[in-house]
Amino acid sequence: MATITRGPESRATALAGGPPRWGPAHYLALVAVPLLAYELWTLGAWLSSGPHEVDAGRVAYSFSWWWARGIEVVAVTIAIVLLVSAIRESRRIGRMSFELTLWIALVLTSFWDSVTNVLQPIWFYSSDFVNLNEWWGHAPGFVSPAGGHEPFPIIALVFLYPCFVLESRLAVRFWSAVTVRNPGISNARLLGLWLVVALGVGSLVSMTFVLPHLWAGPGMGPMILHTDSYRWSFAEFGYVGTWSTAICALRLFVDDDGVALTERGLSHLSPVGRNVTRVLATTAWCSLSVIGLSLVVTFSGLFATAYPTGYPAHLPNVVCVIPGDPATAGNAYGPCPGSPGFRIPLR
C-alpha cells in the first residue's frame, strides 16, 4: 500500500516498551462484534426460513435481463482478480495485506446494502438479477413490513462491494500524482479532490443501473432526474461517491510505515490476533459508513413524492402499490411512500 501522508505512529513507536495502548483499531474491532453478531443472527434466521428467488415481472432474455448478466459477470471477474492479487501480495510480504483485509471487510459490508429501507420501501432492485428475497424480514429492529419481500441481487452486490478495492488503488495513484505537483497540499484538500472524482465515478456507476432499470430509489426525497420512467435523487448522487471516499480514506491516513488507521497499535498481538483485529476494525469502518449514510437516505424518504407509473414490472415488483400502475396493484404493503394520504405502516 502506497504511503501518502505521515501520521503520529511509526515502527519505532510500535516497538517501544510499555503496556499496549488501545487505539482506533481496537475500538473499531470492538464495535464490529455486535455488528457481525446482528448479521449472523439475521442471516441464520433468513436461511432457516428458506429464502426464495423473486421473479415477478421478469422477462428472460430482454435487454435489462442481459444487462444484469453482464453486470454480474463484470463484478465477479473484477472481484476475483482483486482477490487473487491481494492473496499474492500477502504471500509476497509474509502477512495479510491491507487489500486482502479490505476485500474481506467489503464482502461482509454488503449485508447492509439495503438497510436504507428500514422505515419504508424507498429503494428497489430489479428481479432480472440473480436474486433471493432480502433478509431484512428477519432482522431485529427492521420496522418496515415490506422487509423480506424485495429481491436482493445476491451475485451482483456481494461481488460488487469488494470491487471498491480497485477504487482505493486509483485513489492512491490520484493522491500521489497530486502530491508530486503540490507537495504541501493538506490531507483535507486531497480528500476533497477525490470526493469530486468519486462523485463523478459514482454517478457513472449509478447510470449503468438506473438507465436499464436495474435499480431505483424513487422514495429518496428531492430528485435531480424526475420523469414518468426515471428517478435519480440528490441522495443517490451523493451516496456512492461519499461512501467510496470514506473507504478510500483508509489509504490516505496512514503512518510512517504505510499502516492504515484500522491496523495500527496491534504489534503486541499474535499474528492471528492482528489479522482478526484488522479485519474486524476494517469491517466496522466500512459497515458504519454504509449504515450512517443509509440513515441519511432513510430520512430523505420522509420527503418522497408519488412514485412514477412508468417503471417496468421487474423493478418495483412485489412491495407497494403505485397509484395508477396496475402492475403493482394488490401488494400487501399498501400505497407506496409519497402517495396521496400515505402513512408509514410499521410491523
Number of DSSP helices (H) and strands (E) in the chain, helices first: 9, 6
Residue 14 lies in a domain: no
What percent of the chain is predicted at pLDDT more than 70?
94
**Three cell numbers at 189?**
484538500
Residue 3 lies in a domain: no
Contact residues for 102 (Cβ-Cβ < 8 A; gap 6+): 162, 165, 168, 247, 250, 282, 286
Residue 167 has pLDDT above 50, yes or no: yes
Interval 179-199 mean pLDDT: 94
Contacts 24+ apart (CB under 8 A), 88-96: 95/271, 95/274, 95/275, 96/275, 96/278
| Predicted local confidence at residue 122, as pLDDT | 93
What mean pLDDT value characterizes the chain?
Answer: 90
Residue 10 lies in a domain: no
Interval 204-226 mean pLDDT: 92
Ranges 1-15, 73-87, 110-124: which has the least confidence: 1-15
Torsion of CA 167, 172, 175, 179, to 10 degrees: -170
> What domain range is 293 assigned to?
31-41+52-306
Residue 57 lies in a domain: yes
| Predicted local confidence at residue 237, as pLDDT | 92
Q: pLDDT digit string (tens) for 125-149?
A: 999 999 999 999 999 999 999 999 9
Residue 18 lies in a domain: no
Residue 248 lies in a domain: yes
Residue 184 lies in a domain: yes
Q: pLDDT digit string (tens) for 233-272?
A: 999 999 999 999 999 999 988 876 778 888 888 888 899 9
Terminal C-alpha separation, the chain: 46
Q: How confident is the model at residue 330 (pLDDT cuts 50, 70, 90)?
A: confident
Residue 99 lies in a domain: yes
Q: How confident is the model at residue 18 (pLDDT cuts 50, 70, 90)?
A: low
Task: State whether residue 139 is helix, strand or coil.
Answer: coil
Task: State whether residue 216 is helix, strand or coil.
Answer: strand
Specify the number of domains making up the chain.
1
Please write down the HEC assignment for all residues of 5-19. Answer: CCCCCCHHHHHCCCC
Residue 95 has pLDDT above 70, yes or no: yes
Burial of 304: CB neighbours in 10 Å, binned 0-12, 13-18, 19+: buried
Q: pLDDT digit string (tens) for 295-325?
A: 999 999 998 988 998 899 898 777 889 888 8
